[in-house]
Chains A and B, each alone.
Chain A
């Protein structure tokens, strides 16, 4: 067993266990913490795939920014004081169906994807490094990047306008 394999097993196990714990905890703060743990383990998996930039971006964006926002909202809304929603049995059946469909999709993708394509291994190893991503983003995909930036700017201005009205 190589070191990489052992690390993969460890990270994958943390990922799986934390995601199960995340959806089964009743305290939303604990759920959010398990989601953060899940993100951390996921970024470990990215590191094993030599995608250092994606790994760090995962931590900075998801664990560092988005989840902090989540935690804030949960803390300020104080959900422990709210009544728990009575679970509708029909919704439960729907949830099982959706979960099953997603599971089948994942299994299909895993078994149908070609794993024998070793010729592009070098290219795929470099795909997650910051140099490759930077070059691709600012040459080939410059238009989508700029468009996304513009959309985000518009959203920020929208948020400002919404927030400002309250003070008047």
Chain B
């Protein structure tokens, strides 16, 4: 492929991913409200459109029409910069997650991932670590004590859980012998999921993902009873919406990463789709379906947990991170290394 063709394909893929992500994020919000209503035996939003399916659009219009208030004590520039960083990190991370095997069309072979880079997993970790800034800066620049508390709590939390996350990923990398997400998916085949082989690593990764996305039971940064709204207390209008969207986009990315790293990615479970000899486009569609179904189940799990478990206390959160998750992820790494040594996998 020529350079121009690569650029065109990449731009098309970026636009597609952004559109799909934005739609998914807005419907995840709707989904969350319906699930929470179902958990609490309420109805939830069901007025706008059929069963409330147009609710996300109504919400966005409402937020767009609200007045954008910046506190007097706030640092205007950084106050605006913080939500921009949050959104950038949330959407840029998706570039390396593959959703299906390459699509062959018009004589081209197009990998269904925006950037198939050989440091893909590290790229995700790097962007997550940059994401801390959005929250820290939002908390600091608002010029409010509650915001600052939220920001500082959240940075400490994210930095702590990044470590156990990194060590859990190391186990996956040992097996796949590569940092490319596509290679990791292929190394798992259709049934040798990393979740079966290294269950401890799977659990530590999922827990760390909850902490990294600031979801309950780890949503200390925005603990309403103590901190009003946490780091985004002083945000209104679309800037608030940006943080809101970024949080849900991060959930989608966390689910996508868990599927890719531990649940066999886009492959069908217990069944090799390529052995059927179907047309390439059909295979790709089935794989995309399988990827999104796995992701949907995980996202439901995220919501389910949120409406079932109470919030941890801050010291409990830290001691779980450092005294439970971190040693467990180390044990997982040793377990994987021993497996590879003994069975020559």
Chain A residues engaging chain B, CB cutoff 8 angstroms: 3, 29-30, 33, 36, 52-53, 56-57, 59-60, 63-65, 68, 71-72, 75-76, 129-130
A4 to B124 CA separation, bound complex (whole angstroms): 24
Q: Are A59 and B126 in contact (CB under 8 A)?
A: yes
Is B119 an interface residue, CB under 8 A from the partner?
yes
- Contact segment of B59-67, B128-136, B270-278, B285-293: B128-136
A60 to B129 CA separation, bound complex (whole angstroms): 6
A64 surroundings in chain B (CB, below 8 A): 126, 129-130, 132
Known: A52-B118, A75-B148, A130-B179. 6 other contacts (CB 8 A): A3-B3, A29-B75, A52-B119, A56-B123, A57-B122, A71-B133
Q: Are A75 and B152 in contact (CB under 8 A)?
A: yes
Give chain B interface residues in 124-171, CB to chain A under 8 Å.
125-127, 129-130, 132-133, 136-137, 140, 148, 152, 155, 159
Given known contacts A3-B3, A33-B78, A52-B119, is B179 in contact with A65 (CB within 8 Å)?
A: no
**Complex partner residue of B155 from A36, A56, A63, A68, CB under 8 angstroms:** A68
Task: Tell me how far the C-beta of B305 lies from the nearest C-beta in chain A, rounded to whole angstroms.
Answer: 27
Q: Name A52's closest neighbour in chain B (CB-CB).
A: B119
Is B117 an interface residue, CB under 8 A from the partner?
yes
| Binary A-proximity of B52-86 (CB < 8 A = 1, otherwise 0) | 00000000000000000000000100100100000
Chain B residues engaging chain A, CB cutoff 8 angstroms: 3, 75, 78, 81, 117-119, 122-123, 125-127, 129-130, 132-133, 136-137, 140, 148, 152, 155, 159, 179
Given known contacts A52-B119, A75-B148, A130-B179, is B136 in contact with A68 (CB within 8 Å)?
A: yes
Q: Mind listing 6 A-B residue pairs with CB under 8 Å?
A: A29-B140, A33-B78, A52-B119, A56-B119, A60-B129, A63-B126
Task: Tell me how far the C-beta of A61 lies from the nearest C-beta in chain B, rounded to whole angstroms.
Answer: 9
Q: Are A75 and B129 in contact (CB under 8 A)?
A: no
B133 surroundings in chain A (CB, below 8 A): 36, 68, 71
Q: Name B121's closest neighbour in chain A (CB-CB).
A: A56
A57 to B125 CA separation, bound complex (whole angstroms): 10
Interface residues of chain A: helix, strand, loop or mixed (majority)? helix
A71 to B140 CA separation, bound complex (whole angstroms): 10
Q: Are B122 and A60 in contact (CB under 8 A)?
A: yes
A52 surroundings in chain B (CB, below 8 A): 117-119
**Complex partner residue of B152 from A33, A56, A72, A130, CB under 8 angstroms:** A72
Of the listed residues B3, B130, B136, the one surrounded by the most CB atoms of chain A closer than 10 A to its CB is B130
**Complex partner residue of A68 from B75, B118, B119, B132, CB under 8 angstroms:** B132
A71 surroundings in chain B (CB, below 8 A): 133, 136-137, 140
A94 to B117 CA separation, bound complex (whole angstroms): 46
Task: Tell me how far the C-beta of B300 lies from the nearest C-beta in chain A, rounded to whole angstroms.
Answer: 31
Q: Name B132's closest neighbour in chain A (CB-CB).
A: A68
10 nearest A-B pairs in the assembled complex, by CB-CB distance: A64-B129, A59-B126, A56-B122, A52-B119, A60-B126, A56-B126, A75-B140, A56-B119, A68-B132, A60-B129
Q: Are A63 and B122 in contact (CB under 8 A)?
A: no
A65 to B129 CA separation, bound complex (whole angstroms): 7
Task: Tell me how far the C-beta of B212 lies from the nearest C-beta in chain A, rounded to whole angstroms.
Answer: 12
Given known contacts A29-B140, A56-B126, A64-B129, is B155 in contact with A72 (CB within 8 Å)?
A: yes
Q: Are B159 and A59 in contact (CB under 8 A)?
A: no
Q: Are B125 and A60 in contact (CB under 8 A)?
A: yes
A2 to B294 CA separation, bound complex (whole angstroms): 42
Q: Are B148 and A53 in contact (CB under 8 A)?
A: no
A29 surroundings in chain B (CB, below 8 A): 75, 78, 140
B78 surroundings in chain A (CB, below 8 A): 29-30, 33
Given known contacts A3-B3, A68-B136, is B118 in contact with A130 (CB within 8 Å)?
A: yes
Task: Tell me how far the C-beta of A79 lies from the nearest C-beta in chain B, rounded to whole angstroms.
Answer: 12
A33 to B137 CA separation, bound complex (whole angstroms): 10
Q: Name B158's closest neighbour in chain A (CB-CB).
A: A68
Q: Are B129 and A63 in contact (CB under 8 A)?
A: yes
Task: Tell me how far the C-beta of A73 lies from the nearest C-beta in chain B, rounded to whole angstroms.
Answer: 11
Q: Name B156's closest neighbour in chain A (CB-CB).
A: A72
Task: Tell me how far the C-beta of B234 lies from the nearest C-beta in chain A, rounded to whole angstroms.
Answer: 16
Given known contacts A33-B78, A129-B118, is B126 in contact with A68 (CB within 8 Å)?
A: no
Q: Are A130 and B119 in contact (CB under 8 A)?
A: yes
Given known contacts A72-B152, A75-B140, is B119 in contact with A63 (CB within 8 Å)?
A: no
A56 surroundings in chain B (CB, below 8 A): 119, 122-123, 125-126
A30 to B75 CA separation, bound complex (whole angstroms): 10
